[in-house]
Amino acid sequence: MPDEVFKPIVAVVGVGAVGGYYGAKLIRAGYDVHLLLRGDYEAVRANGLQVRSALEGDLLLSPERLQIHRDPRQVPKPDLVLVALKATGNAAFTSLIGPLLRDDTAILTLQNGLGNEDQLAALFGAHRVLGAMAFVCVQRPSPGIIQHIDHGFLKVGEYAAAGHQPPGKTRRVEQIAGMFRSAGVRCDVLDDLRRGRWEKLVWNVPFSGLGTVLDLTTDRLLATNVGVSLVTALMNEVIAIAAADGVELPADVIERNIRHTVTMGAYQSSMQVDRRQGRALEVDAILGEPLCRAKALGVATPSLEMLHRMALLIDPAASSADPP
């Protein structure tokens, strides 16, 4: 990546709700952004990209303002790849991301859950990889149309493979954070990405996992004592895995997460939305990988284990992949 003024070429892989939202912000700010599309290509070519937001105002990008591609080999080699595929689409990493890379291209995944950075590192080299947690409520009701509901800030950090010290706040990660900030996105830099991932899982495991399995919005999960006790049991298991993985989470993490979630009202996680629309669920990234770490580290997680099996059971993708 160039060292002077940071005006990178950016490729966005996966222009759904999250990729479309951040991609549009960067384009508006004048960055050289290339969008790699598959199913939505024709719709975006015809109608452009719209981010509708009552909170931030609408952002309408006509087709002439977009650089869109169907074939990764036709994208100019970028300095930075933003990965915003659903984690259920990670099997396409090789074919979609491989052709984009120069020696010094960095890859930042904005995906949910655990294991995405590891997969990218295994395929393309750990030195390229960064991760971000996107704290944003967005949906994609139809191709090229993104509905922004709330929030939008990022926490970004350098990847470290298991057993390696986190590299901390590198020049590269600071540059990327600066790019997002200059596009109007609040962006914090993490010393330790892994800690950030575990912190976010404390929220995702109960509110995405349990909420999807029971098809209950966040307010319903927290409306009764029995709900709070289930949510808390799952959070405690995530905290225990994180601790075994070397990440001590702050003592008030459960209380803070519950308090914050109450303010969100009747919120549907993206996983719950996926279930209601019959799409594949991010079971692996949200539940499977944490469970896998728990087993490797010898941590007992009975609630997470049952939740994981239940999530597989309702996942249309898993159901077809696993005949009796």
Type of residue at 27: I
Binding-residue pattern over the window 289 to 308 for a copy of itself, x denoting contact by CB under 8 A: -------------xx--x--
Q: Is 295 a catalytic residue?
A: no
* Closest approach of a copy of itself to the CB of residue 195, in Å: 28
Query: Which of the stretches 75-83, 100-108, 138-146, 316-324 binds a copy of itself when contact is defined by CB under 8 A?
Result: 316-324
The full DSSP string for 123-136 is: HH-GGGEEEEEEEE
- In terms of CB distance, is 122 or 306 closer to a copy of itself? 306
- Taking the least distance from each CB to a copy of itself, the nearer of 117 and 282 is 282
Q: Does 312 bind a copy of itself (CB under 8 A)?
A: yes
Q: Which of residues 214-243 bind a copy of itself (CB under 8 A)?
A: 214-216, 220-230
Is 261:218 a contact under the CB 8 Å cutoff?
Answer: yes
Cβ neighbours for 14, distance < 8 A, ≥ 6 positions apart? 36, 83, 84, 85, 86, 89
First to last CA, the chain: 49
Return the residue of 39, 141, 278, 324 that touches a copy of itself, per CB under 8 A: 324
Q: Which residue lies nearer to a copy of itself by CB, 244 or 314?
A: 314
Distance CA 22, CA 45 (A): 18
Q: Which of residues 198-217 bind a copy of itself (CB under 8 A)?
A: 210, 213-216
Amino acid at 156: V
Q: How is 254-299 classified by DSSP, letter by letter?
A: HHHHHHHHHTT-SPPPHHHHHHHTT----HIIIIIHHHHHHHHHT-
Contact residues for 72 (Cβ-Cβ < 8 A; gap 6+) = 11, 13, 36, 95, 96, 97, 98, 99, 100
x/- mask, a copy of itself, residues 247-286, rule CB under 8 A, reads: ----------------------------------------
The active-site residue out of 25, 77, 200, 295 is 200
**Number of residues this chain uses to bind a copy of itself (CB under 8 A):** 29
Nearest CA to 202 out of 166, 164, 156, 251 is that of 251
Query: What is the rounded CA–CA span in Å between residue 125 and residue 114?
Result: 17
Is 1 a residue that touches a copy of itself (CB under 8 A)?
no
In the complex, minimum distance from the CB of residue 216 to a copy of itself, in angstroms, rounded to a whole number: 7
Please, is 22 exposed, middle or buried when counting C-beta atoms within 10 Å of its C-beta (0-12, 13-18, 19+)?
buried
Give the nearer residue to a copy of itself in terms of CB position, either 60 or 262: 262
Tokens of 23: 């991609």
| Residue 308 beta carbon to a copy of itself: minimum distance, rounded to whole angstroms | 9
CB of 40 to a copy of itself, least distance (A): 30
Closest approach, Cβ 221 to a copy of itself, in A, equals: 7
Q: Which is nearer to a copy of itself, 94 or 229 (CB)?
A: 229
In terms of CB distance, is 109 or 268 closer to a copy of itself?
268
Give the helix/strand (H/E) hosting 197: helix 193-204
Q: Which is nearer to a copy of itself, 62 or 319 (CB)?
A: 319
49: nearest Cα among 27, 70, 75, 69: 27
- Is 182 within 8 Å of 87 (Cβ atoms)? no
Residues annotated as catalytic (active site), given as ranges: 200
Site for a copy of itself, rule CB under 8 A: 210, 213-216, 220-230, 302-303, 306, 309-310, 312-314, 318-319, 322-324
